[in-house]
Amino acid sequence: MAGNSRDAGRSVTARALSVLTAFDVDHTRLTLTAIARRSGIPLATAHRLVGELEAWGAVQRDADGRYAIGLRLWELGQLAPVSTGLRSAALPVMQELCEATRENVHLAVRDGWESVVLEKLVSPRSAPEGLRPGGRLPLHTTGVGKVLLAHAPGAVLHEYCEQGLSRHTAYTITEPGRLGRELQVVRSRGFAQTSEEMTLGNCSVAVPLRDADGAVVAALGLVARSVRADPSKLVKPLLPAADAVRRRLAEQDREQPGAG
E strands in 100-215: 104-111, 114-121, 136-138, 192-195, 202-210
Q: List CB contacts of 194: < 8 A, sequence separation 6 or more.
A: 141, 142, 143, 146, 203, 204
When the beta carbons of 68 and 185 are compared against a copy of itself, the nearer one is 68
Q: Are 51 and 82 in contact (CB under 8 A)?
A: no
Closer by beta carbon to a copy of itself, 177 or else 258: 258
Cβ-based nearer residue to a copy of itself, 24 or 175: 24
- Closer of 92 and 201 to a copy of itself (Cβ): 92
**Which residues form the interface with a copy of itself (CB under 8 A)?**
11-14, 16-17, 20-21, 23-25, 27-31, 34, 49, 52-53, 56, 58, 60, 66, 68-71, 73-84, 88, 91-92, 95, 98-99, 109, 111, 116, 121-122, 124, 132-134, 258-260
Mapped onto helix, strand or coil, the DSSP state of residue 42 is coil
| Beta carbon of residue 194, minimum distance to a copy of itself (angstroms, whole number) | 24
Nearest distance, CB of residue 118 and a copy of itself, angstroms: 8
First-to-last CA distance in the chain?
45
At 78, the amino acid letter reads: Q
The CB-of-27 to a copy of itself minimum distance in angstroms stands at: 7
Shortest separation between residue 153's beta carbon and a copy of itself, angstroms: 16
- Distance, CA of 203 to CA of 4 (rounded, Å): 47
